[in-house]
Amino acid sequence: MKPAIRRALCAALFLPAVVCAQNYPAKPVRLVVAFPAGGGIDTVTRLLGPKLADALGQQMVIDNRVGASGNIGTDFVAKSAPDGYTVLMAFSSHASNAALFDKLPFDTVKDFQGVSLIGAVPHILLVNPAMPVKTVPEFIKLAKARPGDINYSTPGNGTPLHLATELFAFVTGTKLTHVPYKGAQPAMVSTIAGETQTTITTMVVATPLMKAGRLRGIGVLNAKRLEAFPDIPTVAESGIKGTESNSWYGMYVPVATPRPIVERLHGAMVKALQAPDIRQKFTEQTVEVIGSTPEELDRHTRAEIAKWSKVVKASGAKPD
233 and 136, same structural domain? yes
- 217, 277: one domain: no
Three-state SS for 114? strand
The DSSP bridge pattern shows strands 112-127 and 216-220 to be antiparallel
Nearest CA-CA partner of 208 in 227, 229, 223 = 229
Identify the bridge partners of residue 249 per DSSP, sorted by sequence position. Answer: 91, 119
Q: Specify whether 217 is located in the same domain as 272.
A: no
pLDDT at 38: 81
The domain boundary residue, chosen from 238, 255, 278: 238
Establish if 265 belongs to a structural domain: yes
Q: DSSP states of 71-100 as a string?
A: HHHHHHHHTS-SSSSEEEEEETHHHHHHHH
State whether 173 and 310 are in the same domain.
no
- Are 116 and 129 part of one and the same domain? no
- Residues 6+ positions from 95 with CB-CB distance below 8 Å: 108, 301, 304, 305, 308
Q: Is 9 a domain residue? A: no
Select from 187, 209, 238 the last residue of a domain: 238
CATH of the domain at 42: 3.40.190.150
Asked, for residue 292, whether it belongs to a domain, the answer is yes
**Using N-to-C axis directions, what is the helix angle for 93-100 and 71-78, rounded to 10°?**
100
Are both 65 and 116 inside the same structural domain? yes
11 is a domain residue: no
- Examine the domain organization and report whether 103 and 201 are in the same domain: no
Indicate if 219 and 76 belong to the same structural domain. Answer: no
Taken in order 264, 81, 300, 251, the sign of the CA dihedral is positive
- Domain containing residue 171: CATH number: 3.40.190.10
The answer to the question of residue 20 being in a domain is no
Which residue, of 238, 260, 280, is where some domain finishes? 238
Please tell me whether residues 266 and 231 are part of one structural domain. no
At CA 186, angle to CA 181 and CA 189, rounded to 5? Answer: 130
Residue at 291 is within a domain: yes
Give a yes or no: residue 6 inside a domain: no
Which residue positions in the chain have pLDDT lower than 50? 3, 6-8, 10-11
Domain count, the chain: 2
Residue 8 lies inside a defined structural domain of this protein? no
Tell me: do 204 and 127 sit in the same domain. Answer: yes
Same domain, 228 and 276: no
Same domain, 102 and 140: no
Q: What domain range includes position 165?
A: 122-238
Contact criterion met (CB below 8 Å) for 18 and 263: no
User: What is residue 5's predicted lDDT score, i.e. its pLDDT?
Assistant: 59
